[in-house]
Amino acid sequence: MSVYILGIESSCDDTSASVSKGNEILANIIASQDVHKKFGGVVPELASRAHQQNIIPVIDTALKEAKINKNQLSAIGFTRGPGLLGSLLVGTSFAKSFALGLGIPLIEVDHLQAHILAHFINNKNNIPPSFPFLCLTVSGGHTQIIRINDHFDMEILGRTIDDAAGEAFDKAAKIMGLPYPGGPSIDKLAKEGNPDAFSFPEPKVQGLDFSFSGLKTSFLYFLRDKLKVNKEFITENKADLCASIQSKIVSILIKKLKQAAVETSIKEIAIAGGVSANSLLRKSLLIAAKESGWTAHIPEISYSTDNAAMIAVTAYYKYLKNEFTDQKVTPYARANILK
Ligand code: KG4
Ligand code: ZN
């Protein structure tokens, strides 16, 4: 009998619902929240309110697009954390009520594990990684190199000691007056720029850990000094600035990933999370894979940034193990499993 799962994601500023059949995705609906744009970042209270507004229509659309009746669902999967508590509460409360009403199991999903397990979505263009593999998980809140031994056996080998890679993109964009979220804006503008136009210092961090806060500070001071001499410096050099900062962030990420691959002798290498949508990171991973004999795994763009398809597929693998969640469950805001 087919297993149909409704996945719900509401950890930050995207309300998303997905319906899966086994590990195949029948629908993946995402409502992004424009309300934060004018504030230059996510405003938690506004995010909760927007989730409350969007959640029913998004789920309704996902079920209709999947051509699935709610009574056919086998289980409800939802993001338990990490994320914004008020946002997580909306998805969690809805998932609990819907599962109870339908008399089907409830399955909690960790958002970071789900970013990684997005690689197991049945996709004609992609062969899933084989175990063990390494995954560079890069999002707005996290930057980690993880060794994945099995679907739910994951080990952190390195992590950021301060800002996440997505934060580095978002903060650099904010300094330049670009709209939130900064990553996609920098990626787009960088296409017209010279990555060697400006150079920024390399962070010196031990082992497989990362640091991005020094890079952000040196970018800020560099621009402050240039603006003293020329008020139009940013406007006149926007594309080159974007290309240079992007190139630095990506080279820091790839360098540590190469080190991790050498240290573990693992050649199955994946990237995941919002920053894995970055065009230079995707290109650089393919180049590194060719040089080092890796098999590279890159998620589709729609499964890189926040989405409920990754929640549904993770819930599916838990369903197969009968890992169900009690109705007393509450969300967690901070990393709980991959910490
Ligand atoms: O995974 P995600 O959608 O949400 C979190 O779990 O945080 O990641 C969001 C992050 C943001 O920092 C955003 O700027 C970044 O991913 N991002 C990108 C790109 N698309 C999204 N960064 C660089 N290039 C992109 N194309
Ligand atoms: Zn995410």
Q: Which ligand is nearest to the CA of 109?
A: 2
C-alpha dist (Å) from residue 136 to 1, 185, 257:
35, 22, 7
Tell me if 230 is assigned to some domain: yes
- Determine, yes or no, domain membership for 29: yes
Is residue 92 a part of any domain in this protein?
yes
> Partners of 270 in the beta sheet?
135, 297
Is 337 a domain residue? no
Domain tally, the chain: 2
DSSP H helices in 118-164 = none
**What would the mean pLDDT of 255-283 be, rounded to a whole number?**
98
Both 37 and 90 in one domain: the answer is yes
22 CA distance to ligand 1 middle (Å): 27
Would the pLDDT of 1 be above 90? no
Please tell me the residue having the least CA distance from ligand 1 atom 26: 278
The atom of ligand 1 lying closest to the CA of 273 is 1
Q: Please give the average per-residue pLDDT across 134-153, as a whole number.
A: 97
Distance (Å) of CA 126 to CA 26, 200, 235, 270, 272:
17, 35, 40, 12, 14
Q: Are residues 138 and 260 in the same domain?
A: yes
Residue 330 resides in a domain: no
Mean pLDDT for 62-91 is 98
Same domain, 237 and 163: yes
Take atom 13 of ligand 1 and give the residue whose Cα is closest: 183
Q: Which amino acid type is present at position 167?
A: E
**In a mutational test of the pocket of ligand 1, which residue from 116, 135, 169 has the highest number of ligand atoms less than 8 Å from its CB?**
169
Taking alpha carbons only, the member of 151, 149, 139, 165 closest to residue 256 is 165
Predicted pLDDT of residue 39: 84
Residue 333 located in a structural domain: no
Residue 61 has pLDDT above 90, yes or no: yes
Say if 39 falls within a structural domain. Answer: yes
Residue 221 and residue 255 in one domain? yes
CATH number of domain containing 235? 3.30.420.40
Show the ligand 1 pocket: residues with CB < 6 angstroms.
Answer: 12, 139-141, 166, 169-170, 181-184, 187, 273-275, 277-278, 305-306
**Per-residue tokens: 18:** 């997905």
Residues forming a β-bridge with 76: 6, 106
How far is the C-alpha of 175 from the C-alpha of 294, rounded, in Å?
Answer: 36
For residues 82 and 143, membership in a common domain is answered with: no
Q: What is the CA radius of gyration of the chain?
A: 20
Q: Looking at ligand 1, which atom is closest to the CA of residue 139? A: 8
Closest CA to ligand 1's atom 1 = 274
The reply to whether 155 and 179 lie within a common domain is yes
Closest ligand relative to 299 C-alpha? 1
Q: What is the mean pLDDT of the chain?
A: 96
Residue whose token pair is 């994945």: 148
Of the candidates 11, 18, 53, 17, the residue with the CA atom closest to the CA atom of residue 35 = 53
pLDDT at 214 over 90: yes
Task: Mark whether 198 and 96 lie in a shared domain.
Answer: no
> Who wins on pLDDT, 48 or 180?
48
User: 111 CA to middle of ligand 2, Å?
Assistant: 6
Is there a single domain that holds both residue 204 and residue 218? yes
- Residues ≥6 apart with Cβ < 8 Å to 60: none
Query: Count of CB atoms within 10 A of residue 227's CB?
Result: 12
Domain identity same for 222 and 172: yes
Dihedral (Cα; 246, 251, 256, 258), 10-degree rounding: 130
Nearest residue by C-alpha to atom 21 in ligand 1? 274
Looking at residues 225-251, what average pLDDT do you find?
98
Q: What is the DSSP string of 228-288?
A: HH-TTHHHHHHHHHHHHHHHHHHHHHHHHHHHHHHHHT--EEEEESGGGG-HHHHHHHHHH
Per-residue model confidence (pLDDT) at position 284: 98
| Span 140-168, average pLDDT | 97
Mean pLDDT of 86-102: 98
Of the pLDDT bands very low, low, confident and very high (cuts 50, 70, 90), residue 337 is: confident
Q: Which atom of ligand 1 is nearest to the CA of 188?
A: 26
Which segments within 22-142 are labelled E, that is strand? Answer: 24-32, 75-81, 106-110, 133-138
CA 335 to ligand 2 center in whole angstroms: 12
Distance CA 35, CA 175 (A): 20
> Using 50, 70 and 90 to split pLDDT, how confident is the model at 53?
very high
Among the bound ligands, the one closest to the CA of 30: 1
Q: Among 94, 84, 81, which residue's Cα sits nearest to residue 36?
A: 84
Same domain, 281 and 154: yes
Contact predicate 164/141, CB 8 Å: yes
Give residue 292's pLDDT band: very low, low, confident or very high (50, 70, 90): very high
Q: Which residue has the higher pLDDT, 39 or 219?
A: 219
Mark residue 205 as left, alpha or beta (left: phi above 0; alpha: psi -120 to 50; beta: remaining): beta
Tell me the residue range of the domain where 221 lies. 130-298
